[in-house]
Amino acid sequence: MTEIPLRSLYGLAFHPFRADVPEHALWKHARVNHFIDRLEKMIGTGGFALLSGQTGLGKSKVIHCIASTFQRKDGIKVGIMERPQSTMMDFYRELGDVFGLSLAPANRYGSFRSLRQKWATHCEQTLSHPLLLVDEAQEMPTECLTELRLLSSEQFDSKNLLTVVLCGDTRLPDRFRELALMPLGSRIRVRLLLTLYSRDELLEFLNHQLTVAGAPSLMTDPLKETLVEHAGGNLRVLTNMSTDLLEEAITRDLKQLDEKLYIELFSGQSVRKTFQGSATGKGR
């Protein structure tokens, strides 16, 4: 979809329901704000935090919010791991790239020392701990999770060198019940478990996205209520339905999205199929 119909038909500055919304348009509900506030307090001492939840609840958007929040703060280094499934050699290569070090992964001890010295120096100079964000952390090998725990602490585990946010689906908390990962699980200080959203939260999301995109009246209030009712508390289902409606409205050259369009687009059996596909598809 080109951006021209969005601007000419509705005055939208951007598509409000796509995954690539601008950073300033990211929606942060109360639970996320509380989690970020607690992370900010952790930055001074370091440690592990956990963000988890079932598919379609916006975990990647939350970690995007975290990254954008702390990247704007002076003195805080934010690193993002993009390949959590890496083996140990690539795990060290990526950490070296993230923190500006040229490591020789074959020399694991030398890489271990270099990273720890880099983090320790940062802590001394800024009085804050580097922040490492790991999305899809349920894919991370056990040996790499263990290595990260050992890397990030010193002085007999009495001092942290790093703040780490592990983000993943519902498999991630279960992994910390494994014997090998119990030591890491016991060190998680801050947790956010995303659960199905309430009606009010989903309405807040819809209103926020439409307002920041520049068209608060794009949808009628009855349509918003209908969308929220049929989303099942799942943010991805809501955004996928909203996207389908917006694209259909552009095709028909409609000036506003309403319940009539919803009924015509999602009628009978096709509604259930759309919801099922949306809940399992890739997206927000």
Is the same domain home to 220 and 180?
A: no
Q: Which residues pair with 132 in a beta bridge?
A: 79, 164
The last residue of one of the domains, among 145, 179, 194, is 194
Whether 69 has a pLDDT exceeding 70, the answer reads: yes
Tell me what pLDDT residue 3 has. 62
Tell me what pLDDT residue 137 has. 97
Average pLDDT, the chain: 91
Is the same domain home to 38 and 176?
A: yes
Is the same domain home to 53 and 142?
A: yes
CATH code for the domain of 133: 3.40.50.300
Residue 274: band (very low, low, confident or very high) from pLDDT cuts 50, 70, 90: very low
Residue 176: band (very low, low, confident or very high) from pLDDT cuts 50, 70, 90: very high
232 vs 272, higher pLDDT: 232
Tell me what pLDDT residue 273 has. 44
Whether 284 has a pLDDT exceeding 50, the answer reads: no
- Rounded Cα distance between 38 and 48, Å, is 12
Is the same domain home to 7 and 110?
A: no
The angle at the Cα of 51, spanning 160 to 152, to the nearest 5 degrees, equals 15
Is the same domain home to 20 and 88?
A: no
Q: Tens of pLDDT along 19-63?
A: 899 998 999 999 999 999 999 999 999 999 999 999 999 999 999
Is the same domain home to 112 and 8?
A: no
Is the same domain home to 83 and 105?
A: yes
Is the same domain home to 149 and 215?
A: no
The last residue of one of the domains, among 133, 160, 194, is 194
Residue 268: band (very low, low, confident or very high) from pLDDT cuts 50, 70, 90: low
Structural domain for 10, as ranges: 3-24+200-280
Whether 2 has a pLDDT exceeding 70, the answer reads: no
Percentage of the chain beyond pLDDT 90 is: 84
Is the same domain home to 95 and 131?
A: yes
Tell me what pLDDT residue 9 has. 77
The last residue of one of the domains, among 162, 194, 226, is 194
Is the same domain home to 75 and 60?
A: yes
Is the same domain home to 68 and 152?
A: yes
Is the same domain home to 189 and 252?
A: no
Whether 282 has a pLDDT exceeding 70, the answer reads: no
Q: Tens of pLDDT along 90-100?
A: 999 999 999 99
Q: Tens of pLDDT along 112-165?
A: 999 999 999 999 999 999 999 999 999 999 999 999 999 999 988 889 999 999
Residue 278: band (very low, low, confident or very high) from pLDDT cuts 50, 70, 90: very low
pTM of the model: 0.88
- How many structural domains are present in the chain? 2
The encoded tokens of residue 20 equal: 């690539």
**274, 266 contact by CB (below 8 A):** yes
